[in-house]
Amino acid sequence: MTVRLATYNVRGMKDSVPALTRVIGALRADLLCVQEAPRLLGWRSRREALAGSCGLRVVAGRRLGGVAVFAAPRVRLIDAESHVLRIFAGLEARGLAIAVVEVEGARLAVGSTHLDLNGAARLRHVTEAMALLEAAAARFGAAPVLCGDFNERDHQPAWRYAATRLTDCYPAAPRGDGPTFTARHPQARIDAVFASPDLRVHACGGAEAAPADLAAASDHLPVVAELESGAGLRGPVMNP
C-alpha cells in the first residue's frame, strides 16, 4: 500500500481561499494534516467547506489548537482523538489531532500538531504529542506518523527528539528544495512529516502546484510524502 500524506499550515484561511483550494487539490493527498485551521466563528463549517471543496472530509480535530486531519474517500476512519497539550501561561494553546485510519488494509495513526515559538514549550509539547500518538498507534496496531509546523529547524531540540522516534521523511527521500517558510521566499524547513520506521519513504517534498498559488494560499508551503507500508500494520478493530 502506498499513501500520499501531506501537512500544511493554512494560516487560518486568511489568504486566497481559491488558491488554497487549488494547492490542496494539487497535493492529491489521501491524508492531509492541517495547522492553523479556522478556530473562530463558523470554524467547523469553514473546515468542512475547505475539505469538501478538495474532495476530502474532516476526520479529526477540534477548535482549540487549530489542528485537524482531512482524509480522502478511500481512507477508512477507525478512531479519532483531539488533545490540548499542556497549557503554558502567556502562550497560545497547542493541540494534537489524531486520526487512526486504514488504507488498503494498512493502518496508520496520523497526528497533526503545531508547536510553539517558545523553545521550552516546543520540547514539552513534542514529547507529549509523541507519547499520545504512539499510544494510539499501539492500541490499533497502526504505524505512527507525526506531521506539522514545528516552528524550528532540524538541528534544534524538539525536531531532534521527533527524529529519534520516527523518520524525518524529507532527508530520507528528498524531492524539491525543502524549505517551507516563508511561502514567498522559502528559507527555512520548519514543516515536516515524521513516519514510523515500518513505513518506506518513496519521496517527500513540495507540492506540484502553481508557484503563484503557493505564494497566494498561505505563508507556509505544504509538504507531501509518499509512504509505503510494510507487514504487521494491521490489527483487530477496537471499539472507540
Q: Could you report the per-residue pLDDT of 107-121, keeping only the tens digit for each?
A: 999 999 999 999 999
Position 237 in a domain: no
**Grid cell locating 215:** 505564494
C-alpha 116/C-alpha 35 separation (Å) is 12
CB-CB contact of 224 with 205 (8 Å): yes
Query: What pLDDT digit, counting tens, does each position of 38-48 carry?
Result: 999 999 999 99
Domain extent for 180: 2-229
Position 190 in a domain: yes
Torsion of CA 99, 123, 85, 71, to 10 degrees: -20
Position 195 in a domain: yes
Query: What pLDDT digit, counting tens, does each position of 23-75 carry?
Result: 999 999 999 999 999 999 999 999 999 999 999 999 999 999 999 999 999 99
CB-CB contact of 206 with 26 (8 Å): no
Position 20 in a domain: yes
Q: What is the CA radius of gyration of the chain?
A: 16
Query: What pLDDT digit, counting tens, does each position of 98-108 carry?
Result: 999 999 999 99
Position 206 in a domain: yes
CA atoms within 13 A of residue 101's CA, in its CB half-sphere: 27
CATH number for 182: 3.60.10.10
* C-alpha dist (Å) from residue 101 to 8, 12, 52, 65, 157: 19, 25, 19, 21, 29
Residue with cell 489531532: 97
Cβ neighbours, 10 Å, residue 89: 4
Position 240 in a domain: no
CB-CB contact of 222 with 240 (8 Å): no
> Taking the alpha carbons of 59, 233, 26, 152 in that order, is the dihedral positive or negative?
positive
Residue 42: CB partners within 8 Å, gap ≥ 6?
A: none
Q: How many domains does the chain have?
A: 1
How deeply is 185 buried, as exposed, middle or buried, from its count of CB atoms within 10 A (0-12, 13-18, 19+)? exposed
**Grid cell locating 207:** 507540492
Position 234 in a domain: no
Residue 1, pLDDT score:
83
> Taking the alpha carbons of 175, 178, 180, 186 in that order, is the dihedral positive or negative?
negative
Residue 162, pLDDT score:
98
Q: What is the pTM of this model?
A: 0.94
Mean pLDDT of 89-96: 97
Position 238 in a domain: no
